Each structure stands twice: as structure tokens, then as C-alpha cells.
């Protein structure tokens, strides 16, 4: 029996819980080769975005030689993945992504999971992450905590209404000061 694909929230977060600064800046995010992000990318088939995150990053390509947001090969791997964009707007599919209305989130995610052989990366943003949390659709949380305090910005857990119990599976500590925490859903009692 094949194991069902997991939805994995893999995200960089500041020590004070922000995923970006007040102006959307992510210049604090450390691209640490020791973290082997390519290995994570190779374990996924698809990426789920909210529309705003897709507009910013879904088709992003760095200028040649600019490693500020990762290297060219990383972006080539990202752009080789199936992309799903959850939105309230009516947008036609493009050559690069399938746009999905968020009215029936659970059915849409189950359909995506059934189509994938590997795992699915829930990229974000905050709104779609909150919706996935509310509907218990995240199977694994991979939070890379960066050694910076912003003081203000866009929080990771915004408008979450109910308690979320998780089980720590693994902790990775890197020389850069990044600490990666990997959690799964807590088993029901």
C-alpha cells in the first residue's frame, strides 16, 4: 500500500513569530546550504500557494548571479513542480498553475493529495495557512526559526481560533543559528 501524500508547511519564521517584515521583506531569511533545501524540494510533487504569495513568488526567477533568495537551480526545481493557487477570485488556469476556488477547501486538498505521489508543500501566505489549520489539513509543520527579532511584521499564526496540539518529531540545529522544528499532528486521545 502506498503512503498518502502529506501536506507540509515548510516555512522560515523569525524568533518572534513573523514570516515577513512590515513591508514584506524577507532579507532576514538565511539561505543555509547545511539545511539541504534541495532534499526537501525533491520529496514534493506540488506546491500550494495563496494568490498573493503566488503573485510574489510563484513565477519568481532571480537575476543571474543574485543569490539573495536562493540559487538558480533551487528555483528551477521549484518551477518544475505542479502549482495550485487557492483564491476567492475567479481566475483561469495558466500554463504555470491551477487556480482553485477556496469554497470547498477540504475536497480540493483531498483531490490534490490523491493526484500526487510525493508530498505537497504548503508555501503560504498567512491567510491560506490559517484556513488549512482551521480545517486540519496540515500533516507536518517544518518551521525554520531564524535568529532575528523583527518586532513587527506579518505573523505566522494569524487569526487561529482553536488550540493546535502538535508532536515534535525532529529538531535540527544549524551553524547559521537557524533551528528547524518538525512537528506532526498530535494523535487523538
Distance CA 6, CA 65 (A): 34
pLDDT at 138 over 60: yes
pLDDT confidence tier of residue 21, bands split at 50, 70 and 90: very high
Distance CA 111, CA 134 (A): 18
Place of cell 495558466: 94
What would you report as the CA-atom Rg of the chain, rounded to the nearest whole angstrom? 16
Q: What is the DSSP string of 82-110?
A: EEEEEESS-----SS-EEEEGGGHHHHHH
Secondary structure letter of residue 33 according to DSSP: G
Mean pLDDT value across the chain: 86
| Digit-coded pLDDT (tens) for 145-188 | 999 999 999 999 888 888 889 999 999 999 999 999 999 987 65
Q: Which of 125, 119, 116, 117 is nearest to 85 (CA)?
A: 125
Secondary structure letter of residue 186 according to DSSP: P
Distance CA 17, CA 39 (A): 25
**3-state class of 37 per DSSP?**
helix
| Digit-coded pLDDT (tens) for 55-100 | 877 777 766 655 554 566 787 888 889 999 998 776 666 667 888 8
pTM: 0.87
Domain range list for the chain: 7-185
Indicate the fold that domain 7-185 takes in CATH: Dihydrofolate Reductase, subunit A (3.40.430)
The percentage of residues in the chain with a pLDDT greater than 90, rounded to a whole number, is: 51
Secondary structure letter of residue 4 according to DSSP: P
Distance CA 5, CA 110 (A): 10
Amino acid at each position: 500500500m502506498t503512503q498518502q501524500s502529506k501536506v507540509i508547511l515548510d516555512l522560515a519564521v523569525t524568533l518572534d513569530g513573523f514570516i515577513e517584515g512590515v513591508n514584506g521583506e524577507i532579507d532576514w531569511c538565511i539561505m543555509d546550504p547545511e539545511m539541504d533545501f534541495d532534499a526537501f524540494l525533491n520529496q514534493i510533487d506540488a506546491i500550494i500557494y495563496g494568490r498573493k504569495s503566488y503573485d510574489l513568488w510563484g513565477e519568481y526567477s532571480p537575476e543571474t548571479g543574485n543569490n539573495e533568495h536562493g540559487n538558480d537551480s533551487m528555483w528551477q526545481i521549484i518551477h518544475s513542480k505542479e502549482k495550485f493557487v487557492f483564491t476567492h477570485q475567479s481566475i483561469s488556469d495558466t500554463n504555470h498553475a491551477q487556480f482553485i476556488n477556496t469554497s470547498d477547501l477540504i475536497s480540493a486538498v483531498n483531490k490534490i493529495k490523491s493526484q500526487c505521489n510525493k508530498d505537497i508543500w504548503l508555501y503560504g501566505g498567512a491567510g491560506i495557512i490559517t484556513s488549512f489549520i482551521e480545517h486540519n489539513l496540515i500533516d507536518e509543520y517544518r518551521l525554520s526559526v531564524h535568529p532575528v527579532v523583527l518586532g513587527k511584521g506579518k505573523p505566522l499564526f494569524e487569526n487561529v481560533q482553536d488550540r493546535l496540539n502538535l508532536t515534535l518529531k525532529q529538531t535540527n540545529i544549524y551553524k547559521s543559528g537557524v533551528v528547524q522544528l518538525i512537528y506532526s499532528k498530535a494523535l487523538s486521545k
